[in-house]
Amino acid sequence: MHQSGRSVHRRGRAANRSTGRVWSCGNRVIELDAPLVMGILNVTPDSFSDGGEHADAASAVDHARAMIADGADVIDVGGESTRPGSAGISEAAELGRVLPVVEQLAAAADPPLISIDTRHAAVARACVNAGASIINDVTGFRDPAMIGVAAGCDAGLVVMHMLGPDFATMQDDPRYDDVVAEVATFLGERAAALESVGVDPKRIAVDPGIGFGKTLEHNLELLRRLPEIAALGYPVLVGASRKRFIGHILDEEDPKRRVAGSVGAAAYAVMSGADIVRVHDVAETAQALKVIAAIGR
């Protein structure tokens, strides 16, 4: 599973000077001198915003190529819906959805940076073997088998906070004494667990898990105090795209009509210290970040 021949990956939107901060993802070392845009590729029939739109491999690969053309730096392939109330699927069913997509993307002449969005060790292992360079685990590498996969490869890792282990109940009655402190503690502990088995800390990124067992106010507080998450010292990923809390703010039930609100949340996150934003609407987000970068220069 180990890959060799590492290269430093610099993106066109990057500033001329390097910050020295990197994220090590398989055979690529990503310089974090400009925010990464992670395009969401749901190969599912039931995701909350785009379920069924890219449920076959050919459609999914076409959509990935379109997102890359629009400015995506990473394609995050997911085969299991993690929306509140979802029931989950078997590893075999998930693999049947995602593996053909990962294989086709990895076989391209100039393959994109591929992330596999999964909580299942067998899926993560197979997709890294097929060419994925990132494992994005919404359950925060709680499963010892996932820790084993992480230790046995050199992929980049996204450690996300989720309240409890169950998608079906995580939004029933989420409670915290201090949501930011508790999320930061969880992320620090899970990162330490990975490092304890030999994972290079440069491979680890953290995600506060917007919408995963959080109320509207919890989500807003996490975004307001994002620098406290960044203070852990790992790259920070924020995934707020089209989520229910944006719908609550905008009084908008249709996730596809939350694009401007999602871009606003991504822009705020980047200005507050996020290194990676995970989004459905790549072109709009990339434009916003380009304007922010120009103003900042």
Provide the token pair at 166: 């169950």
pLDDT at 170: 82
3-state secondary structure 141-180: CCCHHHHHHHHCCCCEEEEECCCCCCCCCCCCCCCCCCHH
Whether residue 23 is contained in a domain is answered as no
Q: Strand runs (DSSP E) across the chain, as ranges? A: 7-9, 22-25, 28-31, 36-42, 74-78, 113-117, 134-137, 156-160, 204-207, 237-238, 276-279
Domain with residue 39: its CATH number is 3.20.20.20
In which domain, by residue range, is 117 found? Answer: 34-296
**pLDDT, average across residues 253-279:** 97
What is the tens place of the pLDDT at every residue in 61-89? Answer: 999 999 999 999 999 999 998 777 667 78
Q: Look at residue 12 in the predicted model and tell me its pLDDT.
A: 40
pTM: 0.91
> In the structure, what pLDDT confidence band is assigned to residue 3 with cuts at 50, 70 and 90?
very low
Percent of the chain residues topping a pLDDT of 90: 81
**What percent of the residues of the chain are helix, what percent strand, and what percent coil, each to the nearest 5?**
40, 15, 45
- For the annotated catalytic residues, the residue numbers are 243, 278
In a domain, 28, yes or no: no
Percent over 70 (pLDDT), the chain: 89
Q: How far apart are the first and last CA of the chain?
A: 40
Task: Tell me the pLDDT tens digit for each residue of 177-234.
Answer: 999 999 999 999 999 999 999 999 999 999 999 999 999 999 999 999 999 999 999 9
Q: Does residue 96 form part of some domain? A: yes
Spatial distance between the Cα atoms of 110 and 89, rounded to a whole number of angstroms: 32
Pairing of strands 237-238, 276-279: parallel
Reported as a single tens digit per residue, the pLDDT across 154-175 is 999 999 999 977 777 788 889 9
Q: Are 239 and 226 in contact (CB under 8 A)?
A: no
Query: Based on the structure, what is the number of domains in the chain?
Result: 1
Determine the 3-state secondary structure of 85 from DSSP.
coil
Instruction: Examine residue 14 and state whether it is found in any structural domain, yes or no.
Output: no
**273 lies in some domain:** yes
Report yes or no on 15 lying in a domain: no
